[in-house]
């Protein structure tokens, strides 16, 4: 038996490939309860019982080797050995969802037709049981001609057996397999039905809750109301639940900064710590609770299976602007960050649909903008309630998210009738079964998100803020002169300011949006650092950025800044990903230009209207 170097996980979307990958390699690839989570090839290392290492590949889910979407093309190319500079995998691990056996057996036949050494992981047997199905793995193995191992990936059941089977996998009589499976699609469907029937030992008609729940959640009238209500609650929670934690963190940062100001000798080092690191980076870190709460909701929606329902509900609405529900999940992922959102468009097969989705993804408010919104809202919007349990601050936050969504829909409509003109493509999406989110997965997911945020604070936000602090600190101002006026940063702000002054921006704001191109949170740290450096009085320096904004910005100016960030200047990484995913600079350029134009116009409109209204 020759040594095996690579094995690949293949199968329909949402069959649990990534969950198996994590169980087999100890990795923590993203898993979620909807089709199209994995969009690129990921490698990890699996150790066989003999101690021999195997490179294990996690691949995007696929319905067929003929499929057209870019993520499915990756799967086909890897499996067939035509993926850039990579040999075909030695063993295939075909993952089937035990509770959806018939559907999954259609693509399975295509995989088996390749005649490669294959092992079947009959995954999600727990869900099959829940649905009242008793399966016969031996019968399935007999019918398919390859070993079948029942597994529950998320509880690591059957993992050892699967590893053994991978070690022993051998070709299943190549020639015969080829003729045996070479069928047309309708024939495959029929075969799938027969095989599934013979593998199901018994089926009790168990009352599934799904149908009842879906009748409500997918109801064309009630469904959208529930979705909208849910999102509303999310943004209320972001403020209401986070406040005590955010206050405590802010107090902590303030206290440390106070101690440093008192104990350290006056000088550049103290200024660096207090004005740059603590005022700047600290002003972003205090938003950790908000970020965690937002992701808590996103993760629960993803794991429970509600996300795919939301896409289904939105399909009709999206059709009005020439998109399909397919675009919904990439767009919803963009609430976390536009980068994975843009990557997730790989599951959209129509190139024009995909391009439109990439171009509007940055309009979904990414979590990096949350600190910007939150700090300005906290400063200028009173902490009052406008109804039972409805806080005004949460309401404004919700409105900003909605503004982004509405903006995206309008832009999509314009794009679809001009540059990405074409017929809207149909939408078929499997509805995954409902699952109770596992606490451990949630905890890991939240921890990963928190860590990403803190790492950003420690790297890109730190570097951008410190660079700005240096530019702000030199040359030193003469006594009586403002440090901002004297500094290099002041000169930079002055060149940009004439363009932004008409839309209500003050100089600090004009300055802050430049380093915010590195990461949007930097807008907050930049403001904090600018005010801290410029403060003549030591005590004012210790004051938080929220207090500064409350004291120094007029309401129209603050609202203009919020409106600017709805359309927001891109962060550079988003532009880079858009370039990679569209293979050139053309579309990223279009994206940047239209977003800046929209940002300027909406900030202006907000400012002029608010001023005229006497706010």
Ligand X SMILES: Nc1nc2c(ncn2[C@@H]2O[C@H](COP(=O)(O)OP(=O)(O)OP(=O)(O)O)[C@@H](O)[C@H]2O)c(=O)[nH]1
Instruction: Give the binding site for Mg ion (CB under 5 A).
Output: 17-18, 37-38
Site residue total, ligand X (CB under 6 A): 25
Q: How far apart are CA 203 and CA 229, in angstroms?
A: 38
127 in contact with ligand X (CB under 6 A): yes
Among 46, 54, 60, 122, binds ligand X (CB under 6 A): 60
154 in contact with ligand X (CB under 6 A): yes
Cα-to-chain-centroid distance, residue 445: 12
Q: How far apart are CA 299 and CA 449, in angstroms?
A: 10
Closest CB 447 distance from ligand X, rounded Å: 16
Indicate the residue among 59 and 471 with the shorter CB distance to ligand X.
59
Q: How far apart are CA 66 and CA 166, in angstroms?
A: 27
177 in contact with ligand X (CB under 6 A): no
Closest CB 412 distance from ligand X, rounded Å: 24
25 in contact with ligand X (CB under 6 A): no
Indicate the residue among 29 and 349 with the shorter CB distance to Mg ion.
29
Per partner kind, with CB cut-offs from 5 to 8 A, the member of Mg ion, ligand X, none near residue 208 is none
Closest CB 305 distance from ligand X, rounded Å: 8
Closest CB 38 distance from Mg ion, rounded Å: 3
26 contact partners, CB below 8 Å, separation of at least 6: 44
76 in contact with ligand X (CB under 6 A): no
Q: What is the 3-state secondary structure (H, E, C) of 58-107?
A: ECCCCCCCCCCCHHHHHHHHHHHCCCCCCCCCCEEEEEEEHHHHHHHHHH
330 in contact with ligand X (CB under 6 A): no
Contact characters 400-439, ligand X, x per CB under 6 A = -----------------------------------x----
Among 4, 10, 36, 149, binds ligand X (CB under 6 A): 36
152 in contact with ligand X (CB under 6 A): yes
Indicate the residue among 37 and 472 with the shorter CB distance to Mg ion.
37
Q: How far apart are CA 395 and CA 384, in angstroms?
A: 11
Q: How far apart are CA 598 and CA 595, in angstroms?
A: 5
Indicate the residue among 38 and 163 with the shorter CB distance to ligand X.
38
Backbone angles phi, psi at 63, to 5 degrees: -95, -20
| Binding window for ligand X (CB under 6 A); candidates: 13-21, 394-402, 454-462, 603-611 | 13-21
- Is residue 591 within 8 Å of residue 359, measured between CB atoms? yes
Crossing angle for the helix pair 572-582 and 351-360, to the nearest 10 degrees: 170
Q: How far apart are CA 454 and CA 286, in angstroms?
A: 10
Residue 73 Cα distances to 83, 192, 236, 331, 349, angstroms: 9, 23, 41, 22, 10
Closest CB 358 distance from ligand X, rounded Å: 19
Indicate the residue among 167 and 344 with the shorter CB distance to ligand X.
344
Look at strands 6-11 and 91-97 and give their pairing: parallel
Residue ranges in 508-537 that form contacts with ligand X under rule CB under 6 A: none
| Binding window for ligand X (CB under 6 A); candidates: 148-156, 225-233, 241-249, 290-298 | 148-156
Indicate the residue among 442 and 517 with the shorter CB distance to Mg ion.
442
453 contact partners, CB below 8 Å, separation of at least 6: 288, 291, 367
Closest CB 310 distance from ligand X, rounded Å: 15
Q: Which residues pair with 390 in a beta bridge?
A: 387
561's tokens: 């800044």
Closest CB 149 distance from ligand X, rounded Å: 12
32 in contact with ligand X (CB under 6 A): yes
Indicate the residue among 15 and 546 with the shorter CB distance to ligand X.
15
294's tokens: 């937002």
Cα 279–Cα 463–Cα 501 angle in degrees, nearest 5: 70
Indicate the residue among 435 and 573 with the shorter CB distance to ligand X.
435
Crossing angle for the helix pair 439-456 and 288-304, to the nearest 10 degrees: 140
List of residues contacting ligand X (CB under 6 A): 13-19, 31-33, 35-38, 60-61, 123-124, 126-127, 152-154, 303, 435
């Amino acid at each position: 038996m020759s040594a095996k170097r690579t094995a690949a996980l293949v199968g329909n979307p949402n069959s649990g490939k990534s969950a198996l990958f994590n169980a087999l390699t100890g990795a923590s690839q993203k898993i979620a309860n909807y089709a199209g989570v994995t969009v690129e090839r990921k490698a990890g290392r699996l150790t066989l019982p003999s101690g021999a290492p195997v490179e294990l590949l996690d691949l995007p889910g696929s319905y067929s080797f003929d499929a057209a979407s870019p993520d499915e093309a990756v799967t086909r190319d890897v499996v067939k050995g035509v993926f850039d500079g990579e040999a075909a995998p030695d063993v295939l691990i075909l993952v089937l969802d035990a509770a959806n056996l018939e559907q999954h057996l259609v693509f399975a036949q295509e995989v088996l037709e390749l005649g490669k050494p294959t092992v079947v992981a009959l995954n999600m047997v727990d869900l099959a049981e829940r649905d009242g199905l008793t399966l016969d793995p031996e019968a399935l193995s007999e019918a398919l001609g390859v070993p079948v191992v029942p597994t529950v990936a998320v509880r690591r059941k059957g993992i050892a057996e699967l590893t053994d089977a991978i070690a022993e996998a051998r070709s299943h009589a190549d020639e015969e397999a080829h003729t045996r499976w070479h069928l047309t699609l309708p024939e495959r469907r029929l075969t799938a039905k027969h095989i599934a029937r013979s593998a199901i030992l018994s089926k009790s008609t168990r009352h599934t809750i799904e149908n009842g729940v879906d009748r409500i959640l997918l109801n064309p009238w009630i469904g959208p109301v529930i979705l909208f209500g849910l999102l509303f609650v999310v943004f209320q929670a972001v403020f209401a639940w986070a406040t005590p934690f955010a206050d405590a963190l802010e107090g902590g940062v303030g206290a440390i900064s106070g101690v440093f100001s008192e104990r350290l000798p006056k000088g550049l080092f103290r200024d660096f710590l207090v004005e740059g690191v603590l005022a700047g980076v600290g002003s972003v870190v205090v938003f950790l609770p908000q970020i965690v709460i937002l992701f808590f909701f996103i993760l629960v929606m993803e794991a429970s299976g509600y996300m795919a329902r939301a896409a289904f509900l939105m399909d009709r609405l999206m059709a009005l602007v020439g998109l399909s529900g397919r675009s919904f999940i990439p767009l919803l992922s963009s609430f976390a960050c536009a980068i994975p959102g843009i990557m997730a468009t790989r599951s959209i097969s129509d190139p024009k649909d995909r391009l439109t989705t990439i171009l509007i993804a940055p309009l979904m408010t990414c979590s990096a903008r949350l600190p910007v919104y939150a700090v300005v809202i906290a400063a200028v919007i009173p902490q009052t309630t406008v109804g039972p349990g409805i806080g005004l601050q949460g309401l404004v936050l919700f409105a900003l998210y909605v503004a982004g969504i509405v903006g995206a829909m309008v832009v999509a409509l314009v794009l679809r009738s001009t540059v990405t003109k074409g017929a809207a493509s149909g939408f078929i999406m499997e509805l995954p079964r409902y699952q109770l989110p596992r606490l451990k997965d949630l905890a890991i997911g939240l921890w990963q998100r928190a860590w990403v945020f803190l790492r950003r604070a420690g790297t890109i936000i730190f570097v951008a803020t410190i660079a700005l602090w240096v530019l702000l600190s030199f040359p030193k101002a003469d006594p009586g002169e403002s440090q901002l006026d004297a500094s290099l940063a002041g000169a930079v702000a002055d060149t940009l300011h004439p363009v932004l002054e008409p839309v209500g921006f003050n100089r600090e704001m004009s300055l802050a949006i430049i380093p915010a191109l590195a990461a949007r949170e930097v807008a907050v740290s930049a403001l904090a650092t600018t005010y801290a450096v410029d403060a003549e009085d030591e005590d004012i320096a210790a004051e938080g950025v929220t207090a500064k904004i409350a004291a120094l910005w007029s309401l129209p100016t603050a609202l203009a800044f919020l409106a600017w960030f709805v359309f927001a200047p891109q962060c550079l990484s988003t532009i880079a990903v858009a370039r990679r995913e569209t293979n050139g600079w053309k579309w990223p350029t279009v994206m940047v230009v239209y977003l800046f134009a929209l940002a300027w116009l909406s900030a202006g409109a907000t400012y002029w209207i608010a001023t005229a209204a006497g706010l």
